[in-house]
Amino acid sequence: METNYIIILDYSVGEVIRIKLTKEQIEESKKYDDFEEYLSTLEEEYDFRLSNCLWMYTENYQERSYGF
């Protein structure tokens, strides 16, 4: 599975962060044995702290919302 998207739930502020990785970011992520190590390199750029988050990565992105 290709990692194209990262979805982060920052529970310290109640925020969902959706990141579509660029081709360069995808290639960079492949250099890491542990994907969470790669995520830690994105903390400052996207303003989140892994210690306050849950995350997942996916090849395709879909979203459903109810009551908005």
Q: What is the mean pLDDT of each run of 10 residues along the chain (68 residues)?
A: 93 96 96 96 96 96 94
Total residues found in the chain within this entry: 68
Amino acid 53: pLDDT: 97
Amino acid 1: pLDDT: 74
Interstrand relation of 15-20 and 53-58 (parallel, antiparallel or unpaired): unpaired
If one counts every other C-beta atom within 10 angstroms of the C-beta of residue 28, the result is 14
**Domain boundary assignment for the chain:** 5-58
Amino acid 33: pLDDT: 95
| Cα separation values, 1 from 4, 7, 15, 19, 55, Å | 9, 16, 26, 17, 16
